[in-house]
Amino acid sequence: MRIVKKEKKTKKRPDICLSLNCSSFEELKSEIHMYRDYCQLVEWCVDKTDGSDRYSKEEFVEKLKEVKRICRGKKLVVDYKGNEEIGNRIQRWAMGHADIIDLDADNSEVQKMVKEARRKRTKTLISHHIFEGMPDKNEIAAQFVKMEKTGGDILKIACFAEKEIDTYNILEAASAYTQLKNHKPIVAIAMGEEGQASRICAGDFGSVISYSCGSIPTAPGQFNAKDLDRYLNTYYKGK
């Protein structure tokens, strides 16, 4: 049985991750320049960049290093959705260069990838998305515990909120999981317009990152980084 922590949790403003799914590398660089002052992390959704499935290792690593220079000290997250074989190849190339790689919880090589990343001192974020509806809060909390077994450094669950009350399910699940002893850092997101409040207040429930976009949303209900920074400044002022 997992032990529940007894100490009082402190409310902490989550870091902002600027998530970018630009179709060209030049657009990616432009978006980083435009929004980098409003975030602590930058996520490059590599699969959205035209031709990324044909990158050689040398070409990709060179581009990754260029992105890191532009980010000016921000943590760089590499994500690749879609074809698992291509994605794992890209993520392996990113190890040792990116700060964090995002791996799907159902990736068939997830535990192997986590171990490889650890050897190269790259953090892993294990993500689980549900784009149709919001599960019961107990199911979400159980999913956090299941994902913990991958060995990943950060656990992320994002589910779609069809109505406002759905948001409470994922926030209460996040709070329940983070009451457990030796829990992992988490990210909890209610996607969609009805879940937008979670992108601001989820830090109160243990979430350590809130995702934003640049000019184009990468998920339903995202705020751009500049607006999210302003909302978080207002919400967490004095907390």
Instruction: Tell me whether residue 3 is in a domain.
Output: no
Distance, in Å, from the CA atom of 16 to the CA atom of 177, rounded to the nearest integer, reads 21
User: What's the predicted TM-score (pTM) here?
Assistant: 0.92
C-alpha 68/C-alpha 84 separation (Å) is: 24
**Residue 104 located in a structural domain:** yes
Is 146 part of any domain? Answer: yes
193 pLDDT band (50/70/90 cuts)? very high
- Tell me whether residue 239 is in a domain: no
Q: Does residue 177 have a pLDDT over 80?
A: yes
Residue 61 is predicted with a pLDDT of 98
Q: Is pLDDT at 232 greater than 60 in this prediction?
A: yes
Is the model's pLDDT at 23 over the cut of 80?
yes
In a domain, 5, yes or no: no
Domain count, the chain: 1
pLDDT at 12: 86
SS3 call for 80: coil
Instruction: Please check the confidence at residue 6 and state whether its pLDDT lies above 90.
Output: no
Are 199 and 211 spatial neighbours (Cβ–Cβ below 8 Å)? yes
pLDDT for residue 10? 52
pLDDT of 86? 97
Q: Cβ(21)–Cβ(216) under 8 Å?
A: yes
In CATH, what number is assigned to the domain containing residue 221? 3.20.20.70
Does the residue 223 lie in any domain? yes
How many residues belong to the chain? 239
Span 118-149, pLDDT tens digits: 999 999 999 999 999 999 999 999 999 999 99
Residue 1, pLDDT > 80, answer no
In a domain? residue 10: no
Structural domain that includes position 188: 15-233
Per-residue pLDDT tens for 65-111? 999 999 988 999 999 998 999 999 999 999 999 999 999 999 999 99
Is it the case that residue 160 has pLDDT exceeding 60?
yes
Given pLDDT bands bounded at 50, 70 and 90, which one contains residue 4?
Answer: very low
In a domain, 126, yes or no: yes
- Report the 10 Å Cβ neighbour count for 200: 18
What pLDDT sits at residue 2?
Answer: 53
Rounded to an integer, the average pLDDT of 200-220 is: 95
Look at residue 11 in the predicted model and tell me its pLDDT: 66
pLDDT, tens digit, for every residue of 27-66? Answer: 999 999 999 999 999 999 999 999 999 999 999 999 999 9
Greater model confidence, 119 or 181:
119
Q: List the structure tokens of 36.
A: 């980098």
pLDDT at 7: 45
Longest dimension (CA), the chain: 51
Q: What is the spatial distance between Cα 116 and Cα 137, in angstroms, rounded to a whole number?
A: 32
